[in-house]
Chain A
């Protein structure tokens, strides 16, 4: 694992910043730490803006699908509605249950929120636009996104509420089950690329459009679809949103959270959705590859938002599965299909029947 100092130097901003800092007489290590802090703040704000935008976008899409307007009050078509919502949630009283498990209850939203952001350390936003290019990039993402389930379980347990507990338990069962088909789908990609580094995965798909992994017939599309299904479940969205099924569990694990703690869960959920969509874009849709007249980060965002849009369409169209059907679907359908697909991909790779 290389510590990505070199990556930092790619950005003019950081070159300029380190120049300024060095002129003030800071040591090289301090300069590095400050640069990373600045980078962290930039990533954090960018992701928060994306999450807020996604909330607004989802509301708009849902509204238009249902022939409503959606938010219309703040700005053009209510574009800063979610910012106002966030401000409102910040001001709200933090109502806490007296019988909560104090430590667990407090840390659950924090862990959920942080875990959602962690994945973006290795996310390739564009050409040379990556915080750190780990050689285990995708494995790292799989590892940190699973933190979310711990947070949801903690929220369910710490709230001391039966609905929340049911939500937390459902979430644990669901995320653990869907992790397997998700990883199996990703493995087909890794199998072909031969590397877990996110940059390698993207560069291996460069060139013309049929180098994108989704067009690697016959297993590419299957892997994409199974990944998308598993990712929808990972992100706790309809038809797999049983941890917070409003009609059954009222709000599930976050039933006892209010104010900013609720907002943290809420934003984390949308960032998770963006994460799985960005992964889908990176792994299957060529990442930031595209015609060069559009900057690479724009390609990445376009593809990601395309996948997000698909997930939103799914969410607002389909009913919700039941918890046991969800498990059955994962173990009896998705896991066999993804593993068969993986074996097929391995055979094809070994035999060399691919371009």
Chain B
């Protein structure tokens, strides 16, 4: 055939056929590189962008969110809906509704980067599929619940990366003191 089996050296062909067979049979005895998924799982890298959660303060367990709406504005798919009317007396925002629709979320992580208060994070958790569309709409309680045990670096205090928990109890979240710089968790 055209430059094929007939014309080329048959011994070269046979050698090539055998070398192919050698490579595949070499792999026969090797260990599998895959995992049995639901029983075994890969360890997710720290930066893995899974489910979006709301973080709570490490000491008093209250939400870090100040309802500044930066994440809502940063979201490219409008998956985040925040309703936080301003209190007419204290001029502070009052978080009334914080919903993330995971049917819309594209897990880009822009909300996490926009947040100046370590309040929202893409955790390494990833198993939350469901056959029910409505169950993808997570409200603030669920987001906080899932985010309870998520470890994070608190960047709310200025110019100081809080090491663990020996620092003073976190001051009440005040939208007045805005840390200017972006989250600098580069390691």
Contact = CB atoms under 8 A, between A and B. Distances in A.
Q: Do A and B contact each other directly (Cβ–Cβ < 8 Å)? A: yes
Interface of A: 61, 63-69, 72, 313-314, 316-318, 325, 328-329, 332-333
Contacts of A316: 24
A333 B24 contact: no
B25 to A, nearest CB: 6
A62 B25 CA distance: 10
Interface stretch (B28-36, B95-103, B124-132, B162-170): B28-36
B5 interface: yes
A267 B65 CA distance: 61
A67 B6 CA distance: 35
B21 A69 contact: no
Nearest to A327: B1
B27 A65 contact: yes
Interface in B146-169: none
Nearest to B39: A72
A67 B25 contact: no
Given A64-B27, A65-B25, A317-B20, A333 B32 contact: no
Interface of B: 1, 4-6, 17, 20-21, 23-25, 27-34, 36
A65 B4 contact: no
Contacts, number: 48
A317 B32 CA distance: 18
Closest 7 pairs (CB-CB, A-B) = A317-B24, A67-B33, A328-B1, A69-B32, A317-B20, A65-B24, A68-B34
Given A313-B25, A314-B21, A325 B4 contact: yes
Contacts of A63: 32
B36 A69 contact: yes
A71 to B, nearest CB: 11
A333 B5 CA distance: 9
Contacts of B6: 328, 332-333
Given A67-B33, A328-B1, A318 B28 contact: no
Contacts of A61: 28
A66 B34 CA distance: 10
8 contacts: A61-B28, A64-B30, A65-B24, A67-B30, A68-B33, A69-B36, A325-B1, A325-B4
Contact of A72 (B28, B33, B36): B36
Nearest to A310: B21
A98 B61 CA distance: 64
A66 B36 contact: no
A329 B5 contact: yes
